[in-house]
Amino acid sequence: MTAKRPIRVLVWGENHHEKHDEVPQRIYPDTMHGTIAAGLRELLGDDVVVETATLDDPEHGLSEERLAQTDVLLWWGHIKHDAVDDEVVERVHRHVLGGMGFIPLHSAHFSKIFIRLMGTTCTLRWRQGDDRELVWTVSPTHPIAEGVPHPLVIPAQEMYGEFFDVPAPDELVFVSSFSGGEIFRSGMTFSRGHGRIFYFSPGDQDYPVYHQPEIKRVLANAVGWAFQDRSRAQPRITMQRDGQFELPPE
């Protein structure tokens, strides 16, 4: 990954389980969003400037000024989706359409912002249990798959299964299979306006998924893919003027 300047990354975490639940506190003593941020710094080094924000921050840490300075936003949420202010959702939505990269993780499939961007229910099947997950690369030449083992083995994880009610993706990068026989489209890209979106499902709070080097690699690759070094502006309606494309006289 080569950029003219460091990529400005913001990792947003709900930060509820880390405050209230014993298992995530033990697995992620530095919080989930802190662990994700540390993994990006570890792999991308000086190519990134990584900050974190949480639900309890003023404006959820997603002020207009902060979003304007964010190139790629990673989002982890689970049981507090409704606590995210609608005005903040609209703000994030506008910045994604303008070109900010967006990487929703795991249960962020049910976040207000992902549902808004997809325009569907984003519902799926799930089962809480120690399921082995195999993440299979189905687009081996995609930049997000670079350096990712095939398959990527997650020893224990919550099961997500089809049907996953999202639009047909621009690109299907990963498909997961589980010990119960289920399959899931676990890594998909979408474009909305000028923004690039990558949804990646592994990462339940009760399992040490974000400590795995292979998962860190996927997220680091996704940041590089979602980043666009261009001015942020939403697509806008433009008037076609008469004669604009007339050929010059012979």
Instruction: Give the pLDDT mean for 134-145.
Output: 98
List, for residues 30-61, the tens digit of each pLDDT value: 999 999 999 999 999 999 999 999 999 999 99
Band the pLDDT of 129: cuts 50, 70, 90. Answer: confident
pLDDT > 80? residue 157: yes
pLDDT of residue 172: 98
User: Considering the entire predicted model, what is its pTM?
Assistant: 0.93
List, for residues 199-238, the tens digit of each pLDDT value: 999 999 999 999 999 999 999 999 999 999 988 888 888 7
Q: What does residue 72 show for φ and ψ, rounded to 5 degrees?
A: -140, 130
Instruction: Give the pLDDT mean for 125-147.
Output: 95
pLDDT > 80? residue 247: no
Task: Return the bridge partners of 128, or none.
Answer: none
* 131 vs 2, residue with greater confidence: 131
Task: Return the bridge partners of 104, or none.
Answer: 75
List, for residues 53-104, the tens digit of each pLDDT value: 999 999 999 999 999 999 999 999 999 999 999 999 999 999 999 999 999 9
* 198 vs 129, residue with greater confidence: 198
The type of residue at 136 is W
pLDDT of residue 3: 53
